[in-house]
Amino acid sequence: MFYNDLMTYLLRVNLDINASNIGGNLRFQNTLKGIRLVSKRSNRVVILAHRGRPSGRDKKLSLKHFVSPLSKGLGKRVVFINSFDFPKIAKRIVQSPNGSVFLLENLRFLKGEFGADKSLAKSLATLGDRFINDDFPTSHHKNTSNFELPKLLPSSVGPNFKMELEKLDKVMRHPRKPIVLVIGGAKIKDKLGVVKNFLPKANSILLGGAPANTVLKARGVHIGKSLYDQGTFSQIKRFAMEEKLVTPIDWEVKKEAILDIGPETIKLYTKIIQGAGTIVWNGPMGKFEDKPFDRGTKALYRAILAQKGANILIGGGDTLAAIPLPRKLRKNLFISGGGGAMLTYLSGAKLPALEAIK
């Protein structure tokens, strides 16, 4: 990995978090570590990141809110760049002192960031000498800054991205059997594709949240007004009857919508988890933000942590927001900053952002 003196690095990081509640947020702490490492030899650093899925500029999703916590965490001033006037930005960066750190505004304010806009990639490339992708959580998506930009500059993965790959490889190269996958949350499309890829590898796939609702509906179960994925429903019906897919047998309901797994399901899932050799968890079991619909998620978390002899991988923004992270991580427990990216990589599918660097 190269971090030469007096270079300007374009550093892609993950700031897709709540700026008003950073505290001990894992993604933010990892971001700080990556910036420190890249900038410590007097390199200039231009931070590239996004937040949310805006359709144009949105003050609530501006990265300006991160200037203060980044400056405080790094112990140096972080310069915020609000405009996308790339010639002016490039000139400002070149004229800045060595060791300067810049934060570019939310890349998703630019329509071209969604997808693979080669023109935008060329503009971004004028801002630095090298590109480092340290944003593992979005590596399963093909965006301009993580897919087209690395083709134009000498590029590498950053320290956090590299650590994620190494940890995941270590656990899954020779996984302890049985392998149990726990999938929940509100995001559906990416996860159900990964579930299909995981079927040959996993012994059991425990479903909660929207993924469970979608499979239940495909199995002919009435789910009322519960959240499910209409877009991929026809595809899911093809493998919905797989025995490895374990769905809730009871649930908690409010206004005709399933909002959490029920007590009997907690018992069933706990029993399966207790016999696992490897546990991969992504996504809460219910609408954890609203009590008491956090019970299922908390119960499974306790069950998972109790497995001292199993290798445990936990990842995803919603998952980490739903559980209290242990102060000290055990050797058998790895907390991943990525959710969909973690599942995609573990399933054997390719990560577009990683392929672009290779």
One pLDDT digit (tens) per residue for the chain, 358 residues: 555 567 899 999 999 988 777 766 778 888 999 999 998 777 899 999 999 998 889 999 999 999 999 999 999 999 999 999 999 999 999 999 999 999 999 999 999 999 889 999 999 999 999 999 999 999 999 999 999 999 999 999 999 999 999 989 888 888 899 999 999 998 777 777 778 888 898 999 999 999 999 999 999 999 999 998 887 777 788 888 999 999 999 999 999 999 999 999 999 999 999 999 999 999 999 999 999 999 999 999 999 999 999 999 998 878 888 888 776 678 889 888 888 898 888 888 899 999 999 7
Span 132-177, pLDDT tens digits: 999 999 999 999 999 999 999 999 999 999 999 998 988 888 889 9
Q: Are 248 and 297 in contact (CB under 8 A)?
A: no
Structure tokens at 4: 């030469």
Count of CB atoms situated within 10 Å of the CB of 245: 24
Count of CB atoms situated within 10 Å of the CB of 305: 15
Give the pLDDT of residue 4.
59
CA 158 vs. chain centroid, Å, equals 15
Same fold for the domain at 8-161 and the one at 175-324? yes
> Can you name the CATH fold of 175-324?
Rossmann fold (3.40.50)
Half-sphere exposure of 182 (CA within 13 A, CB side): 32
Tokens 């019970």, residue located = 295
Q: What span, in angstroms and rounded, lies between the C-alpha atoms of 209 and 80?
A: 38
**Burial classification of residue 189, based on how many CB atoms lie within 10 Å of its CB (0-12 exposed, 13-18 middle, 19 or more buried):** middle
The domains of the chain are located at: 8-161, 175-324
> Can you name the CATH fold of 8-161?
Rossmann fold (3.40.50)
Structure tokens at 212: 């469970």
Give the pLDDT of residue 235.
79
Span 227-272, pLDDT tens digits: 988 877 777 888 889 999 999 999 999 999 999 999 999 999 999 9
CA 253 vs. chain centroid, Å, equals 28
Structure tokens at 273: 């988890």
Question: Dihedral of the CA atoms 341, 342, 347, 349 (nearest 10)?
Answer: 30
pTM score, whole prediction: 0.85
Q: What's the one-letter identity of residue 278?
A: T
